[in-house]
Amino acid sequence: MEHITELLNKIRLITVHENTLRKEKEKRGENFNMFSILKLSRAEVRLHSAFIAELLNPQGSHGLKDRYLCSFLKTINSDIDFDFTSIRVKNEFPIGTVNDSSDRGGRIDIIIADKKNHAIIIENKIDARDQSKQLLRYHNYAKEKKYQFQLLYLTKDGDKASDISTDKKKFDYTCISYKKHILAWLEHCIELSACFPLVRETIRQYIINIKNILYIMDTGSLNKLVEEATSSYYMEATLTILENQREIQKRIRLKFIEQLEEIAKKHGLTFKCDEEICDLIGERWIYF
C-alpha cells in the first residue's frame, strides 16, 4: 500500500507538470486549431475519413503524389502489390443500397483500389458505434468484386469489431489504431513534407487534433510516467492498480455522477441517469 501511495504521488506531480505545459502552450497560441474552431474535431466523415483519404490519394492536392500512400502501406505492413499507376482513393464510396438482410450495400469509409483488382478497404470509427453487419458487408463486397484485398478496422485504440458488425462470421480483417498507426504515419508524413510548408503545418494541426481526442500526454510527461510506473521499485504497485482498473474506473464515474447530482440539486434541476451508467458500457445517458 505504501508503494501505491508513493507511485500515485509521483504520478500526481507528473500530471501537474503536464497541466502546466498545456497552459504554457495555450499562452503561446499552440492550442489554436482550425479543426476544433470549425467544430469538426470528431467529425468522422467530414474530417477524418476525408482528410486521411486525401493524404493517401496520389492525385491529391498535397502534391506529394504517392509518397504518403507508400508510407501508410509500410506502417500497416501491407503486402498488397499495388499498381501505383492506376490507384484510385475514394472516401464515402457507395456500394449499393443496404439490402433487407443487411449483408450487402452501404458506403465504404475509404477504399484504395487499382485496375488489377487490388484493394484496401478501411472502416473508420472515431465515436460512432458499429452498424448491423457493417464490416461483413464490406468483406462481402470485396469478395464479390474478386479483389485481392485487406480489410482494415480503424479505431482510436485498435479495438476489435463487435459481433454486431461481423454478424459473428469468421473472416480476416486487421485492427489498426489512431494512437499507434495513424499518428506514426502522420509524423512520417510531416518529415516527407519538409519542402511543403502549408501541407506540413496542416498535418501538424491534424495531429494536435487527434492527440486532443485521445487525451495523449506530452511525450516527455508520458515517458516519465511510464518510466516511474514500470520501474522495479513500483512494479508491484503498478500491477495492483492495473488489476483493479475496472473497479477504479467505475468508482471514478460514480463520484462524477454524485457531483453532477449535487450540482443539479443546487440549481433546482431534476437529475436522472441510466442505472448502468457506472458499468462502463457505451450508449448510457444522463438527464437534467
Please state, in angstroms and rounded to a whole number, the distance separating the CA atoms of residues 110 and 286. 34
Q: What is the pLDDT along the chain (288 residues), one digit of tens a residue?
A: 788 889 889 889 988 888 888 888 778 877 788 888 888 888 888 899 999 999 999 999 999 999 999 999 999 999 999 999 999 999 999 999 999 888 999 999 999 999 999 999 999 998 778 889 999 999 999 999 999 999 999 999 899 999 999 999 999 999 999 999 999 999 999 999 999 999 999 999 999 899 888 877 777 888 888 899 999 999 999 999 999 998 998 999 999 999 999 999 999 999 999 888 887 666 788 999
For 108, phi and psi rounded to 5 degrees? -85, 130
User: Are the C-beta atoms of 89 and 56 separated by less than 8 Å?
Assistant: yes
Per the confidence metrics, is the pTM higher than 0.75?
A: yes
DSSP-assigned beta bridge partners for residue 155: 177
Q: Where are the alpha helices (DSSP H) in the chain?
A: 2-27, 34-37, 50-56, 67-75, 134-144, 163-166, 183-192, 197-214, 219-229, 235-243, 245-266
Query: What distances in angstroms separate CA 74 from CA 19, 111, 114, one per listed residue?
Result: 35, 17, 18
| Residue among 116, 177, 169, 100 nearest 139 (CA) | 169
User: Are the C-beta atoms of 142 and 172 separated by less than 8 Å?
Assistant: no
Q: What is the pLDDT of residues 36-79, one digit of tens each?
A: 888 888 888 889 999 999 999 999 999 999 999 999 999 999 99
Q: What is the pLDDT of residues 193-224, one digit of tens each?
A: 999 999 999 999 999 899 888 877 777 888 88
Neighbours of 46 (CB within 10 A): 13
3-state secondary structure of 172: coil
